[in-house]
Amino acid sequence: MIVKSLHFENYRNLNDNSIVPADNVNVIYGENANGKTNLIEAIWLFCGGHSFRGSKDSELINFDKSFFRLKMDFFAQDRDQTAEIIFDKSKKLIKINEVEKNSSSYLTEIFSAVVFSPEHLSLIKQGPNVRRRFLDAAICQHRIRYASLLAQYNRIINQRNALLKDILKNRELKETLSIWDDSLSIVGAQIIYERFGYIRQLRASSKAYHSGISGEKEELDISCICTAKAEENDSVEVIRDKLRNAFYSSRHEDYHTGYTSVGPHRDDFDIKINGISARRFASQGQQRSAVLSMKLSEADLLYRKNGERPVILLDDVLSELDNKRQDFLLNKVEDYQVFVTCCEESNKEQLQRGKVFYVKYLHLGKDTSIEINNIVGIFDMDTSTVSKHTREFLRVCEKENRIVNVSYELPKSYILYDFSGEYSVYLSPLNSATLLKRMAD
């Protein structure tokens, strides 16, 4: 899967513009708050219509505008395709290959990506529920049936927990608990079995990535922590019996708490580097490397399943990594199209192939910033130097509504701006020398 071009309009702080990425590695470089993450997020939106930052659709529209529009040309399933997302505060319009679709979920069938953002470090740093969510989300992409297993399990566990609370008041109800235990062990065993299978594959692949990132100095190991004491090689039937026994043995504790203390809803997986717990002992760079290895493996597993390589989006991964680890990410992740954001100028020089995109804006006045890459020229409005030809040009622009005045006072300069092939003019209260100095800073 390759993004061939991306056009964005009013998407957060990204003004009307397009990028044409390289098929391999793309470094999106710029200062803080320039819009690097926004760019990555715009690509991710084509995976299903939602932000990976959990933002609402209305938050994605530029503060001063009433809609956003994203259009992507990409290569997938052996052909060139296009997808478009337009959101105007009340309605989201999805078009795939020029055909309107009534749901964003159609996007998941045609485009896929794997994203790493610093928040994913919570996979190591935080509690088991974060890891279970990661695992469940990843398996759902592989097995459609898995989501309904989870829903079924949650429904039964809620009923069992409600019964446990009733038992506190009426002990005779104890008899009925085994009915729930039976159905819970049947569904729960299938969940555990699927998780074991996914972890087995993830372990092998992430071990290889982590070894590469760390220059073969570190070994990453991922293993399941199963509260029912089932083991990876167990069959579904054996897991079911162990789970049922676990429910039985924990009954006394459960009667007191009114909560089911064992089962897949309490399971976890352990991440170790060189045999010791990554959460408790690994350095920042080691933790980052481990999560990255898992994310890259997620991409490998998707490729194995779909025969199509997802696009890899790496937001802010390079900080805290030493040169060798950065070099691995920039130059050794083969066969995938990768987008990496960074703030360090040195990172773009490390890149041996691919493209660098510089995201930088120039502030003109009245809260208006425009993308530096698209500025054609900056000229003073001093009438003595404005030629007849220029005055004529400005008159035409005015007639065609292509002049944006960002000045409360008399404008001192005008900026010629290329909006994907069409010129616009901005009138600024600042003179050209000040603007050019800002651009150079």
Ligand X SMILES: Nc1ncnc2c1ncn2[C@@H]1O[C@H](COP(=O)(O)OP(=O)(O)OP(=O)(O)O)[C@@H](O)[C@H]1O
CB of 87 to Mg ion, least distance (A): 21
The pair of three-digit structure tokens given for residue 73, joined into one six-digit string: 């040309």
Cβ closest to ligand X, residue 7 vs residue 36: 36
The pair of three-digit structure tokens given for residue 416, joined into one six-digit string: 């010629």
- Window 18-57: contact mask with ligand X (x via CB under 6 A): ------------x-xxxxxxx-------------------
Cβ closest to ligand X, residue 211 vs residue 319: 319
| Per-residue CA distances from 311 to 44, 299, 335 (Å) | 9, 8, 10
Choosing among Mg ion, ligand X, none, which partner's interface includes residue 188 (Cβ < 5 to 8 Å by kind)?
none
The region that residue 365 occupies, defined by phi over 0 for left and psi between -120 and 50 for alpha, beta otherwise, is left
Does position 102 interact with ligand X (CB under 6 A)? The reply is: no
Nearest CA-CA partner of 264 in 291, 278, 246: 246
Beta strands in 57-160 (DSSP E): 68-76, 79-87, 92-96, 99-101, 113-116
CB of 59 to ligand X, least distance (A): 6
CB of 181 to Mg ion, least distance (A): 48
CB of 41 to ligand X, least distance (A): 7
CB of 33 to Mg ion, least distance (A): 8
**Reading across the β-sheet that carries 375-380, which strands appear in turn?**
375-380, 413-419, 422-428, 403-405
Ordered DSSP codes for 268-308: EEEEEETTEEHHHH--HHHHHHHHHHHHHHHHHHHHHHHSS
Nearest CA-CA partner of 297 in 142, 191, 146: 142
Cβ closest to ligand X, residue 17 vs residue 38: 38
> Residue 429: phi, psi to the nearest 5?
-75, -5
Choosing among Mg ion, ligand X, none, which partner's interface includes residue 13 (Cβ < 5 to 8 Å by kind)?
ligand X
CB of 426 to ligand X, least distance (A): 17
Choosing among Mg ion, ligand X, none, which partner's interface includes residue 406 (Cβ < 5 to 8 Å by kind)?
none
CB of 368 to ligand X, least distance (A): 11
- Window 123-152: contact mask with ligand X (x via CB under 6 A): ------------------------------
The answer to whether 44 and 375 have CB atoms below 8 angstroms apart is no
Does position 350 interact with ligand X (CB under 6 A)? The reply is: no
Q: Which residue has the tokens 């760019």?
A: 39
Cβ closest to Mg ion, residue 40 vs residue 199: 40
> Residue 146: phi, psi to the nearest 5?
-60, -40
Q: Which of 343, 372, 375, 386 binds ligand X (CB under 6 A)?
A: 343
The pair of three-digit structure tokens given for residue 345, joined into one six-digit string: 């100028």
Cβ closest to Mg ion, residue 37 vs residue 190: 37
Residues 176-205 that bind ligand X (CB under 6 A): none
Choosing among ligand X, Mg ion, none, which partner's interface includes residue 343 (Cβ < 5 to 8 Å by kind)?
ligand X
Helix boundaries (H) for 17-127:
36-44, 105-110, 122-125
The region that residue 92 occupies, defined by phi over 0 for left and psi between -120 and 50 for alpha, beta otherwise, is beta
The pair of three-digit structure tokens given for residue 313, joined into one six-digit string: 């989006």
Residues 25-84 that bind Mg ion (CB under 5 A): 37
> What number of chain residues touch Mg ion (CB under 5 A)?
1
Cβ closest to ligand X, residue 234 vs residue 316: 316
How far apart (Å, rounded) are the C-alpha atoms in residues 57 and 433?
A: 39
Cβ closest to ligand X, residue 60 vs residue 184: 60
Nearest CA-CA partner of 60 in 98, 100, 104: 104
> What number of chain residues touch ligand X (CB under 6 A)?
16
- Window 63-82: contact mask with ligand X (x via CB under 6 A): x-------------------
Does position 59 interact with ligand X (CB under 6 A)? The reply is: yes
End-to-end CA distance of the chain: 37
The answer to whether 131 and 77 have CB atoms below 8 angstroms apart is no
The pair of three-digit structure tokens given for residue 354, joined into one six-digit string: 């691919």
CB of 35 to ligand X, least distance (A): 4
Cβ closest to ligand X, residue 267 vs residue 316: 316
Nearest CA-CA partner of 154 in 121, 130, 178, 183: 183
CB of 37 to ligand X, least distance (A): 3
Cβ closest to ligand X, residue 62 vs residue 211: 62
Cβ closest to ligand X, residue 194 vs residue 315: 315
Residues 260-319 that bind ligand X (CB under 6 A): 316
Give the binding site for Mg ion (CB under 5 A): 37
Give the binding site for ligand X (CB under 6 A): 12-13, 30, 32-38, 59, 61-63, 316, 343
